[in-house]
A and B are shown apart, each in its own frame.
Chain A
Amino acid sequence: MSAAHPPSTLSAARAVLYKELTLERRAPQTLTAMALFCASAFVIFHFALGRNEIEGAIASGVLWVTLTLAALLGIGRSFVADREEGGLDGFLLAPAPRSALLIAKAMTLFIFLLIVGLLASMLFAVLLLGPTPTVSQWGSLALLIVLADLGIALVGTLIAGIAIQTRARDLITSILALPLLIPLLIAVTKASEPLLSAGGGTLVGRWLALLGLYDLIFGLLAYALFDYLVED
């Protein structure tokens, strides 16, 4: 070791993030699974609802239920490779701050969710959505996806950190994540509803505020508590 001082949080986080993205690029696993899940879910919704085109509240619900369940897949995979291949122990041996792992993992999940959100909403517009959103409505929808994905990534990483050490990992991930994400889903589905309606509509400020509040609170909480989860 040539460096005398331990790496800063950001440089450690950048290194882990780079590792995660390289892994996914070399052997795409999580992203492809999430995208395929979304496509299948849209087909299922087409038959289950018995409609060729949907709009408004139903459209908003279908889109966000699909994206949330796809996010659960990503959350469930988040720490699996590290745990199985000893990456977690390796990270703990390194003199890097623990929060770097949280930042890197949350960023990874955030990037995955953004890509899936983008692909899935375009696919959704082609397959199921009745009205064609305007450019500004697409912009608002993109803003919602960013804010919601940030919250899902933060809460998801916290839950993935808890679930990875339990026996029934998949079970714990789903039953913990879904209730915790309900406030976020309330805000984002209500906010998307006018954007996906036939008449067209705009964003309502209070839902954006609620999403921002959710992201802020759970971001701080994850940052404060994550150290206790990787203490071994």
Chain B
Amino acid sequence: MSWVLLIQLGPVVALLVLGFSVGSFVERRHLRRLAIRELALADLLVTASRTVESGRSEALGLVVGEVVIASDYFKSFVARLRSIVGGELGTFESLMERARREALVRMLESAKGLGADSVINVRFATSNIGSMAAKRPSAMVEMYAYGTAIR
């Protein structure tokens, strides 16, 4: 009896362990790298407003940053369980945060490459190229950030 249960549950448990261990390692590494890259970009002024006070003379153009990040099996599993009772999906919140920060950092890096000192009118948008079959416990975030680089 117990080995039947083990065979049935085994793959799921294995995937959960794999998702949790590798997933949290990937996430920690990503957050660590993000922190370093953000520090290097800290001198850029980033605003969501359309105008900026005087003193800046030249618009350099549109800068964009995109990223697609996948959830791991563990996160998706927890989110699915949580969806039964409702409430906050904490595991997906960190996924969204990583995607937003990564898109923003990529945008700022290209702004810096253009020689900008600020990026104004920053907007975020999401896309859904990869919306998978609903029965598969997966999720991915497709995020892009765009703004106007000025000097």
* A and B are interacting partners: no
